[in-house]
Amino acid sequence: MSASGAEVLRSEEEARILVVDDEPEVVALLADSLRQANPSWCVETETDPQRALERLAVEDFDCLITDLVMSPVGGLRLAREARSLDENLALIAITGRGTLENSIEAMRVGFADFLQKPFDLEETSQAISRTLRQRRQKEKRDLRFAELAQAKTRLQTEHAQLSQKLDIATHDLVLSSKRMARQMDELALGAHVATVLMGVIELEDLLGLCAELLGDRIHCRTGTVAPYETRENSVGLLVRAYPETDDPPALSWLRTPIDAGVMCRAAQTGKTIHVEDIEASSLLDSQERELWHDGRLLVVPISRQGLTVGLAVLHRLSHDEDFTANDTKHLMELAKIMAPAIQTAKLHHRQRCCIYASLETIAETVEDRNDYLKGHSVRVQAYAMRIATTLDLHQSQIGAVQIAARLHDIGHIVIPESAVNHPGPLSDEQWAIVRRHPDVGAAFLKPLDFFGEVGEIIRAHHESYDGTGYPHRKAGEEIPAAARVITAADAFDAMTSHRPYRGALGIEEAREQVRRLAGQQFDPRVAEVFLNIPAEALADVQAGNR
């Protein structure tokens, strides 16, 4: 019996029990005893385990009590197949000469208790009551889970309304630099809305959890979840879980989006596809064949309101049991539960991309105020990414470097025109304003909490390794690793760029300055990595972004 919103659960006392043993006397004795112990129990018997399987496939039972040693179908096999039909079926073993190995295997299958021959009828009744109670509790949990999944769908209307407000705010941000002050107010409002929306889990994390859920609920070698992009009719990202190992789910960005093959066909038709032989099938795209070399696949579209938002893919090897109708049904049910969450997470992911694009536009507008800064953040980003990908940084830190490098000077918005293109050295008052820009940039991003540590990286990008930088004179490891990377990239670009009061240094002259200031202004390890970048590569960055 599955736990669903439409099902009316039996009372705590009522239960249908099937007793299976190839000894008729044992079956009869145990069945009579159970009926006497609790008249609300409907106890039925079978001496033929094969016949018992047939009944389990078409009838609902709450509890299976079976001997472990029977012919031709043993109790362990009977229990496994019964559980494949009903994962909530309570299992109790009858044993007269059980071994330790049998007992361990029985527990793995899911047997909740063991009845030793000859039976103690009072203990037997207690064991069955206890096992049935555990089954009821699990059914209630499953029912609650389904109700929560349905409740989540009701949030969609509110999400759509908030998304519309965010789109309007984002659009206004890029209309004109003349409306910058008002656009910043609207961005703050949009950031507040975005913060409210970010109650939903990150898309990549959500996909990983969904992939793990597939492997936990249905036997497979890999469980894969991929968002489907309806505008491009393609798959560009997928997450794979490996339920038979302790490895975490693996996130993969495809070389080129898959716009054909078995996943796209399932997405476009909205139908489940069962590939019985991968090698012989003509349905798979070349990249899909790299993901799944042989065996069989079960591909189910994850749909929401008639729109395919993703794909769920199970893989088994050729010598594994083929996918059953029950596997397909179970996977389709999981897909229905995943669909609202994936659709919402994708929506939020697109919104974050829009906000980032708007912030890039602001950063470019700030740079356009100063002829000497045009292209600066793009070049800094290019240098910083070369450094970050060489250092032993976590993938999330590399992503933070990419964003922070592009937006690191967004705080320049507070610098007045009189200081932006000042032909000579700045006055003390002007320098005081300039030194505020890291804190201003960090404060600007603070409402957008989905940017994580990017704000603190921006705040620290003018700190020096020896503690002589600004705005807070942090030193060494106090400075975020990503900020130390951007410090070197920013300084190199500043040295090799013209300013109103000085000319630009050549690449080799600037590299010598980085070498000289390692351990003072720059993290020595960062400086070492930067100095290993070929001069030709640095020149290419400058030539392409001036």
Task: Print the domain residue range for 428.
Answer: 369-544
Look at residue 187 and tell me if it is in a domain. no
- The average pLDDT across 316-324 equals 93
With vertex at residue 54, the alpha carbon angle to CA 49 and CA 56, rounded to the nearest 5 degrees, is: 90
* Most confident stretch, 230-234, 333-337, 482-486: 482-486
Same structural domain, 89 and 226: no
User: In this model, does residue 198 exceed pLDDT 50?
Assistant: no
Domains of the chain: total: 3
Band (pLDDT 50/70/90 cuts) for residue 185 is: very low
Identity of the residue numbered 94:
I
Among candidate residues 97, 112, 138, the one where a domain is terminated = 138
For the ranges 106-120, 280-294, 399-413, 500-514, which has the lowest average pLDDT? 106-120
Range 322-328 average pLDDT: 94
Tens digits of residue pLDDT in 25-37: 988 988 888 888 8
Of 101-105, 386-390, 401-405, 512-516, least confident by mean pLDDT is 101-105
Greatest mean pLDDT among 256-265, 267-276, 355-364: 267-276
**Mean pLDDT value across the chain:** 82
Q: Tell which residue, 50, 40, 324, has the closest CA to residue 63.
A: 40
- CA atoms lying within 13 Å on the CB side of residue 402: 9
Domain boundary among the residues 117, 138, 159 is at 138
The answer to whether position 360 is within a domain reads: no
Q: Judge whether residue 194 has pLDDT over 70.
A: no
**Report for 189-203, 225-239, 392-406: range of highest mean pLDDT:** 225-239
Based on the fold, state whether residues 321 and 412 are members of the same structural domain: no
23-32, 84-93, 290-299, 495-504: least confidently modelled range: 495-504
The domain that holds 216 is classified in CATH as: 3.30.450.40
435 and 514 both lie in a single domain: yes
Among 170-179, 264-273, 380-389, 521-530, the range scoring the smallest mean pLDDT is: 170-179
pLDDT category of residue 225 using cuts at 50, 70 and 90: very high
Share of the chain above pLDDT 90, in %: 34
**Which of 442, 291, 441 is closest to 366 using CA atoms?**
441
